[in-house]
Amino acid sequence: MNQIMPENVDIAELQSRASDLIASITGAEAGCITNCTSAGISVAVAAAMTGVDQGRIEQLPDTSGLRNEVLVPAGQLGYFGNAPLRQAISLTGAKVVPVGEYNHFRPYQLKAQINERTAAALYIVTGDTGKMPFFEFAELCRSSKIPVLCDLANVQFFPLFISEGADLILLSAQKFLHGPTAGIIAGQKELVRAAWYQHFGVGRGMKAGKEDIVGAITALEAWERCNHAENRVRETCILKFWQKSFEDLPGVTVTIEPHHADNPVHHLHLCVDAETCCMAAWELAYKLSQGDPAIVTLERWVEKGRVVLDPCYMNPGEEQEVVDRVLEELANSRQLRRKNPMSLAEYKRREEIGFLGWLK
């Protein structure tokens, strides 16, 4: 990224080079880079509606005369980051059509929603995918000639989804690839072309710069060369170190659990007894996030009374810093014996205030 910063490049040519490399690693026909996975969702949806027709591309977000409905399993329509998934789709002019219910998603519900207005179907692999596996979702959609888009930002091993029927997969360069903030689109050639063309339409503000294109494909190459088994060993050592460090803490139950989205990664779960520890799990998570160094845990678990630690992004030596901070906060809490613990509602308010209070 540093090397290309001072250079003048032809972005279309650079994206073509990126396409070749993305195709060779993912097994897709082609690929391109955008500035994040959310942008990838938007331009992929736009591509499904317009194809490579320049007039239609410039027409968006007006979808008059276009297929404009995007089917999404209802259980997958949530927030990712600090924004709703629905918005990433709707800003193109497309209409979101939830399928099924949060905890009940079946083939008959998907079939019932497919009609002449359906532009695409989007499946997000998060671990909260209802009861229908992706290959079945893709098979039903493709049998009706509906383009299948698959958000794999939270997935470590992604080529399988191309073979299982995804027309476009959407990857994050910065998560499991440990690269820059960028999105990778891979899949069927004409849809990739249509996605790239959106950078001359509603995707103009979502285009990737030369440094992000180079950074993303370099991260993808590094992922391909990576010894993933060796990484698992390193992560397991961190998890066992954490487990040993916390196993005798009063009021804390320590377990090592599989990743919620079926990645070959495990997490450490600290089940916190609020009465014994003098703080609830969400208060411990909040204190950790506000300290120095800041320790960010997996927020999805705090309402269940758990603080969850992920070893994937640890630099050497940081596992000890995590231990020190957790022990420090628990010791402070017991010493103070707080009579007014932070409620879950207050935790959520503080989190929101912290985000919305930026630059106040």
**3 state SS for 79-123:** EECCEEHHHHHHCCCCEEEEECECCECCHHHHHHHCCCCEEEEEE
**208 and 301 share a domain?**
no
pLDDT at 355: 65
Domain of 325, CATH number, reads: 3.90.1150.180
Kindly state whether residues 190 and 257 are assigned to the same domain.
no
Same domain, 213 and 284: no
Within a domain: 115: yes
Give pLDDT, residue 259.
Answer: 82
Residues 265 and 333 in one domain: yes
- Both 154 and 183 in one domain: the answer is yes
In a domain, 291, yes or no: yes
Are the CB atoms for 35 and 192 separated by under 8 Å? Answer: no
* Residue where one domain finishes, among candidates 187, 207, 225: 225
| pLDDT mean for each 10 residues of the chain (360 residues) | 95 96 96 95 98 96 97 87 87 96 89 97 77 90 96 88 95 92 96 96 95 97 92 94 95 91 85 92 93 88 92 90 95 77 79 68
Do 171 and 242 fall within a single domain? no
Angle between helices 281-290 and 318-336 in degrees, nearest 10 = 120
Which CATH number characterizes residue 170's domain? 3.40.640.10
Residues 289 and 220 in one domain: no
In a domain, 1, yes or no: no
53 and 88 belong to one structural domain: yes
115 and 251 together in one domain = no
- Could you give the C-alpha distances from 140 to 76, 143, 158, 338, in angstroms and in order? 18, 5, 20, 55
Which one, of 252, 258, 220, lies nearest residue 239 by Cα?
A: 258
pLDDT at 127: 60
Q: Return the closest-CA partner of residue 280 out of 256, 250, 247, 307.
A: 307
State the sign of the Cα–Cα–Cα–Cα dihedral 48, 51, 57, 63.
negative
Whether 6 maps to a domain, the answer reads no
Q: Kindly state whether residues 250 and 267 are assigned to the same domain.
A: yes
Q: Which of 207, 225, 243 is the last residue of a domain?
A: 225
The answer to whether residue 347 sits within a structural domain is yes
Q: Report if residue 58 sits inside a domain.
A: yes
**Is 265 within the bounds of a domain?**
yes
Taking a C-beta distance cutoff of 8 angstroms, is the pair 147, 71 a contact?
no
**Containing domain of residue 69, as a range?**
11-225
Regarding whether 162 and 240 lie in a shared domain, the answer is no
Q: Is-contact 173 181, C-beta < 8 A?
A: yes
Same domain membership, residue 265 and residue 152: no
* pLDDT given at position 49: 98
Q: Which residues pair with 257 in a beta bridge?
A: 267
Domain final position from 166, 190, 225:
225
2 occurs within a structural domain: no
> How many domains does the chain fold into?
2
